[in-house]
Structure formats: C-alpha cells, structure tokens
Structure 1
Amino acid sequence: FTSWQAFRKVLNEISDLAGQREVVAESLQLQIIQGISLLSKTLREERKKCLSNGTILHQNLTTQLAALERAKRNYEKAYRDSEKAVENYKKADMDLNLSRAEVERYKNIMTAKIQQSDDAKNEYANQLQKSNNLQQQHYHELLPEVFNRLQELDEKRTRGIREFIISAADVESSVAPIIARCLEGMVKAGESINEKEDSYKVIERYQSGFTPPGDIPFEDLSKMDTLDTSQESHYNHVQSSHLTVKGTISANKIKKRVGIFNIFGSNKVS
C-alpha cells in the first residue's frame, strides 16, 4: 500500500531528523554548555575577588577615620589640660603665699601639658593628613578601580551571552539544510499516498467472487409438491452461497480464502 510505503519513508526521515538533533545536542554540549560553565565560574571568582578588595578598602578607610577620631579626641583633651595648666600657673604666679618651688612646679606642669598638647596636635594633624589622602585616594582611585573591574566583568558576561546565542543559532543553522531535506522527504512521502490505488489493492486482495443470490421464490402451500422441490432448490442454493461467502475450499481442503463478508459475522463491539 502507498500509505505503508509512505509511513516507512517518514520513519526513515524521522530517524535522520533524530540524528541531526543528536548532532545539535552534542555541539551545544561541547561549544555552548561547557563555555557557559567556564565563563560562569571565572566571573564568579573575579566578582568575589573584586568584592573582597572593596571590603578591604572600606575597612582601611574606616580604620583610618577611627584613628583620626581618636587623635582628635586626644588633642581636644590635651588642649583643655594645657589651658587649665596655664591658668593654674598664672594663679600660682600671682599668689604671694606660694613658695618659689611651688610656683616652679606649676610651671613645669604647664610646660609638660603644653608639650603634650602640641604632640597631640601634631598627631591629630598627621592623622588628618593621612585620612584626607586615603579618603581622596579611596574615592578617586581605589574604589573606582573596583567598580571599573566589576563593570568589565558584567560587560564580559553580557558579551558572552551574545556570543553563546549566536553560536547556538550557528549550530542550528549548520544542520538546517539537512533537516529541510528530511522534511521535504516527509512531504514527498505524504504526497505519494494514493488512496484510490490503496482501495483498489484492498478490493483485489479481499474480493471473493461472490455472486449475489437470486430472488427467493414464493412458497404456495396449496402446491406441496412444488413447495418441496422449491425448498430443496432453495436449500441447495443457500448452501452453495454459504460456501461462497465463507470461503472457497479446494478439493484437497488445503487452501482456504476468507471472504470480506466475515467482517459482519462478529458480534463484538469495538
């Protein structure tokens, strides 16, 4: 049958299509999936490194600003102590009841406090300069470098997506002509089906040579002799027809051909 032949051709084309899909799957696995995995791993590591560097930079700046705050508090305390020492010395110097040694002691305390204040002031100035330099470097050089690196990584990720999409399309395009030929073969297989030819083959295969029976004679009960003869003739005719419908049996009873009327002999409901 043409439908059977077309179905076999379609199965062959489907097998070829499956083979091309395997080629696509293997190519995607080797060229795309592995590339995505490698790029993803690299980007994760680089991004983690950038974030770690950014954290370190932030901690360094925070530490320096904390040192500046401590130096400022020390300077403020030392300055207040020095002012108090100067005030105490002035009072002692004007107090005539104090001995020269006592006044000298207040003077030494004042000198020491002034020196401590100057040292704290210098330390504060030093920490302030360090903080300003580090803060300027942090916001104008170090931190922008981290952000630029993160931007480069994101651009690399985006560029990878573009390349992977194009590569995937190229893989599909490489097998598209073969797939098109397979589909064309399936269309031709479908177009080769000839329902008339198949139905004629069914008729040729299952035709039985059955001859339709003649009219059933009227049975006149008033003519018994004629009735007996008619019944016998009709019985023989039915028996002959029955053999013809059920199948033709050869003399040696070896070959039996089943007639198409057997499709009406079953009481089963499909």
Structure 2
Amino acid sequence: MNDYAGQRELIAENMMMNICIELTKYLQELKLERKTHLSDGKKAQQSLESTYKQLDNSKKRFEREWREAEKTAQYAEKTDQDINATKADVEKAKQQAHMRMHIAEECKNDYAAQLQKYNKEQNQFYFTDMPLIFNKLQDMDEKRVRKLAQTYILFADTERHVMPIIGKCLEGITRAGTNVNEKNVSPTSPALLVACCQPWLALLEQH
C-alpha cells in the first residue's frame, strides 16, 4: 500500500511541478500578450477616431467659411450694382469678398487634405492594423491549444511511466489480501502487527 501511495504521490508531484505550475505560468504570459494586442487595437481605433474628428471639424469650418464667402460675394455684387454706392464702398466689398473666398479656398484645401488622411488611415486600420492584430490573437489561441495538448500528452506519459510499478503494487496487495487467513489474524495478532509495521521496519533498516 505504501508503494502504491508513493507512486500516486510521484504522479501528483510531477503534475504540480511539470504541468500545473508550468501551465499557470504559460497562461499568465498569454494573458499579458493578449492584453498587449488588445491595447494595440484600441490605440489604432482611438487614432482613427481622432483623425475623423479632425476631418469633421475641417468639414464644418469649410462649410461655414464657404457660406460666408458666398454672402460676401453676393453683397459685393449687390454693392457694385447699387447706383448710390461709392467707388470706395464697391472696392471695399470686393476686397471683403476676395478675402472670404481666399479663406474658403484654404479651408477647402485643408478639408481635402484631412479627407485624404482619414481615408488612408481608415484603409490602414481595416486592411492592415486590425487583420494583423486578429492574426496575432488567433496565433496566440492556437499556441494555447497546442500547449494544452502537450500537457495532456505529458500527463499521459507520466501516468504510463508509473503504471507498471502501480500494477506490481496492486498485484502485491491482491496477493496479501488473498493470503490473509481471517481465522488466524486478530487485531492484536503478531502477524497483523508485523504486516502493519513492516514499512516502518524497512525504513529503519535503510537508516
């Protein structure tokens, strides 16, 4: 029985040292790696959202300045056709219209640049960054599955290694049980006491 218990204890020790501790450490590493990949994805998304806000602000400014440019252009045309307007009034209105149109053109160019930047970053996000992150997460999950499979194999090998010894222990237990004569063995009989103390006697002899 002691030999049998010893083999089971050996399996438990191997499970703890070679499987449980190693597997726990590996899963912690995978957890940190997964956190890093998700953080990279979040950063890429935040960057895209920031670029979109810049694009939206640029668009609103362009629309606002374009409306102002149209108003000043209409006012300049109206002033030019007004017979009561002085030459200075007409010139001033035209200068205002020209200035507003120049500002509107600058806003238009900025909006076009922001739109191009957003389209490029959006393409990078959906077709490069996120697929790469998803592939890394998939590879990580595949590694996790492979590690678990290796753990199962290691457990089976450990169990298989001690099975012959356990088999011999069980055979010994069976023989001992078969050879017991219940009529000749009482709780205080010398034979039973020797059987119970045999492992301890053997241990003392070794030392």
Does TM-score exceed 0.5, indicating one fold?
Answer: yes
Matching residue within 171, 177, 188 for 2:158: 171
Structure 2, unaligned runs of 5 or more: 187-207
Which aligned pairs between 1:1-270 and structure 2 lie closer than 5 A? 14-194=1-181, 198=183
In structure 1, how many angstroms separate the alpha carbons of the residues matched to 2:132 and 2:99?
47
Counterpart residue type for residue 100 of structure 1: K
| Offset, 1:194 | 4.5
Runs of 4+ in 1 over 4 A off after TM superposition: none
Counterpart residue type for residue 149 of structure 2: R
Q: TM-score, normalised by structure 2?
A: 0.86
Which structure's residues are more often helix, by fraction? 2
In structure 2, how many angstroms separate the alpha carbons of the residues matched to 1:100 and 1:119?
29
Aligned residue pairs, count: 186
In structure 1, how many angstroms separate the alpha carbons of the residues matched to 2:138 and 2:180?
61
Structure 1, unaligned runs of 5 or more: 1-13, 203-270
In structure 2, how many angstroms separate the alpha carbons of the residues matched to 1:87 and 1:157?
69
In structure 2, how many angstroms separate the alpha carbons of the residues matched to 1:68 and 1:142?
21
In structure 2, how many angstroms separate the alpha carbons of the residues matched to 1:176 and 1:191?
22
SS in 2 for 1:178: helix
SS in 1 for 2:85: coil
The percent identity for this pair of structures is 38
What's the C-alpha RMSD, in Å, of the aligned pairs? Answer: 1.5
In structure 1, how many angstroms separate the alpha carbons of the residues matched to 2:90 and 2:17?
92
In structure 2, how many angstroms separate the alpha carbons of the residues matched to 1:154 and 1:23?
31
Counterpart residue type for residue 4 of structure 2: L
Counterpart residue type for residue 9 of structure 2: E
In structure 2, how many angstroms separate the alpha carbons of the residues matched to 1:140 and 1:50?
16
Q: Deviations over 1:218-259 (max 9, x none)?
A: xxxxxxxxxxxxxxxxxxxxxxxxxxxxxxxxxxxxxxxxxx
Q: TM-score, normalised by structure 1?
A: 0.66
Counterpart residue type for residue 119 of structure 1: E
| Offset, 1:37 | 1.7
Counterpart residue type for residue 150 of structure 1: L
| Offset, 1:130 | 0.4
| Offset, 1:191 | 2.1
**Which structure is richer in relative contact order (CA contacts within 8 A, separation 6 or more)?**
2
Q: Deviations over 1:59-93 (max 9, x none)?
A: 00000011110010011011111111110110011
In structure 2, how many angstroms separate the alpha carbons of the residues matched to 1:177 and 1:32?
22
Counterpart residue type for residue 127 of structure 2: H
